[in-house]
Amino acid sequence: MEKEIYLAGGCFWGTEHFFKQIEGVTETEVGFANGHTENPTYKEVYTDQTGYAETVRIKYNPEVASLAFLLRMFFKAIDPTSLNKQGHDEGTRYRTGIYYTDEADLETINMVYAEEQQNYDQPLAVEKEPLQNFYSAEEYHQDYLDKNPTGYCHLPLELFKFAKQAKDKK
């Protein structure tokens, strides 16, 4: 049985590519989450007037990759104390967030969040909220780094290799 989680980790091109490397992730889709307009375009979201965060919908097989494992991997790919900024990308659309559709996931989310908070003196800037809405981004944004291997990415290439080799040690 597949599950899904929505993660905002700055620019969605790199975040999607990172999660696609992880064994147990069965599908990814980039889009916009938790804003206040209908059917936003990238151009509209880019203005930071719509309230949306660039987000990746991640479908996964929990028998292969648990939610806790995926969240720990997520924290390796972001600066969790940075508000509305990841790498050189700034704006509310680049905020970090964990958006869930299953209330039962909140216990795991809170556990991993608390573990991660112990590594920092300042509070984490990562949102933890139920998913309110999600709109798929335009087709040219889907699998962007597969289509444009030398395209812009705020994540270091070593991180993709790390993700490919990571295994959930349940």
Strand order in the sheet with 127-130: 127-130, 96-100, 3-9, 53-60, 25-33, 134-136
Secondary-structure percent of the chain, ordered helix, strand, coil, rounded to 5 = 35, 25, 45
Supply 67's token pair: 């939610």
153 in catalytic set:
no
| Distance from C-alpha of 114 to C-alpha of 164, rounded to nearest angstrom | 26
Q: Which one from 7, 8, 11, 112 is the annotated catalytic residue?
A: 11
Supply 142's token pair: 């889907």
Q: Residues with catalytic annotation?
A: 11
